[in-house]
Amino acid sequence: MFVVTTMLLRTEILATLIITTVLHQGQTNPAIGFSATISKDTHLGDNQAIPYDRILTNIGNGYDKWSGHFTAPLKGLYVFSCTVMAVNENYLAVMMVKNGHVMAYTHSNPSAWESGTISVVLAMAKGNKVWIRRYHGARLIHGKYNLFSGYLISTQI
């Protein structure tokens, strides 16, 4: 009986420590995140930032639908991702850019309904910017199958 009681007590203590840690992390990491899509087929220029104009979420107000840029409201470690698809049987090549420097590339294949994705973890200083930019391929991007998202993982970097 003593062994069972001791094991239950240790389990309860461990569960309490885990819950306390999770709650503490939630208190030190404010909710920052966004997701945006494109509302209609959009013509893109050379090296143009893609204007994801239909905002689904913008907690922390870091995403600007007019420029297509996310500006980090806090220093921290962030995850960014995008999915890209051209119209019809075209291909579209894009890059993820941080403060003017290319972080990653992806493209959609030149067949109907093919998409490309990027997912990157980046350390960001307050005020750093991230956006998706067209660099090659089709100029017409599909309106409903393109998404740009990002969120804060931790301010402890």
Mean pLDDT estimate for the chain: 81
Token digits of residue 120:
């990157």
Q: What is the pTM of this model?
A: 0.79
Sign of CA dihedral 147, 54, 85, 136: negative
pLDDT for 41: 83
Instruction: Please give the pLDDT value at position 92.
Output: 82
| pLDDT attached to residue 67 | 95
With a cut of 50, list the residues of the chain below it in pLDDT. Answer: 1-9, 11, 13-23
**Cα 137 off chain centre by:** 23
Q: What 3-state class would DSSP assign to 157?
A: coil
Cβ neighbors of 135 (< 8 A, separation 6 or more) are 46, 47, 93, 94, 95, 105
